[in-house]
């Protein structure tokens, strides 16, 4: 009976010693990327929960960095549709501000960082109308488009690859 716990402890110790070496080496996407030099992605962002939206915007920033790390120039467009637009205003409703202030700050910071990276960010006017968002209150770095779906069709026709974010 004492052999199993001892064997398990030895195996666990061995794995623990191996982990730091692997943790320092980022995974590679070389096989998928092949000889790609420019990564064109149009991200359809349709998230109704502010914390989740903040998280995914940070993930997109990481994706941008990961492409650069692998010598691929990122060329991204984000198209915000649906309830996502409720969290893109300089003047959020009082309930959102009270309940989700931290997430709203993270969203605004990510939008600013993505803008500084040259990422185009579009907001669907159909969605702002449906959700009662004043287009003049959109955060800096965001561009209003007439219809997010039309924009997605256009970007895909120009060679951008759809990345749905729900």
Give how far the C-alpha of residue 55 lies from the chain's centroid of Cα atoms, to the nearest Å: 7
Question: CA–CA separation, 140 vs 113, rounded Å?
Answer: 11
* Cα(121)–Cα(64) distance, integer angstroms: 14
So what's the pLDDT on residue 7?
47
Q: What is the pLDDT of residues 4-32, one digit of tens each?
A: 555 444 444 444 444 444 456 789 999 99
pLDDT at 8: 44
The stretch 120-127 carries a mean pLDDT of 98
The pLDDT assigned to 36 comes to: 98
* pLDDT given at position 3: 58
Confidence of residue 152 (pLDDT cuts 50, 70, 90): very high
pLDDT tens track for 39-98 = 999 999 999 999 999 999 999 999 999 999 999 999 999 999 999 999 999 998 888 888
Q: Is 30 exposed, middle or buried (0-12, 13-18, 19+ CB in 10 A)?
A: exposed
Q: Given a cut of 70, is residue 34 above it in pLDDT?
A: yes
Distances (CA, A) of 147 to 47, 80, 117: 17, 10, 24
What is the fold, at CATH topology level, of the domain defined by 29-165? Hypothetical Protein Ychn; Chain: A, (3.40.1260)
Which H/E stretch holds residue 74? strand 73-80
> What pLDDT shows up at residue 19?
45
């Amino acid at each position: 009976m004492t052999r199993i716990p001892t064997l398990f402890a030895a195996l666990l110790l061995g794995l623990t010693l191996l982990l730091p070496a692997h943790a320092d080496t980022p995974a590679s996407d070389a096989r998928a990327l092949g000889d790609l030099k420019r990564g064109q992605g149009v991200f359809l962002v349709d998230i109704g929960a502010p914390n989740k939206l903040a998280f995914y915007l940070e993930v997109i920033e990481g994706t941008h960095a990961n492409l650069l790390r692998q010598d691929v120039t990122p060329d991204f467009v984000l198209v915000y549709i649906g309830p996502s637009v409720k969290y893109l205003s300089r003047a959020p409703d009082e309930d959102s501000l009270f309940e989700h202030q931290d997430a709203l700050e993270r969203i605004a910071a990510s939008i600013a960082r993505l803008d500084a990276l040259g990422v185009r960010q579009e907001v669907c006017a159909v969605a702002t109308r449906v959700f009662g968002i004043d287009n003049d209150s959109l955060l800096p770095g965001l561009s209003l488009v007439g219809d997010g779906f039309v924009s997605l069709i256009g970007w895909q026709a120009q060679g951008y690859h759809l990345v749905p974010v729900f």
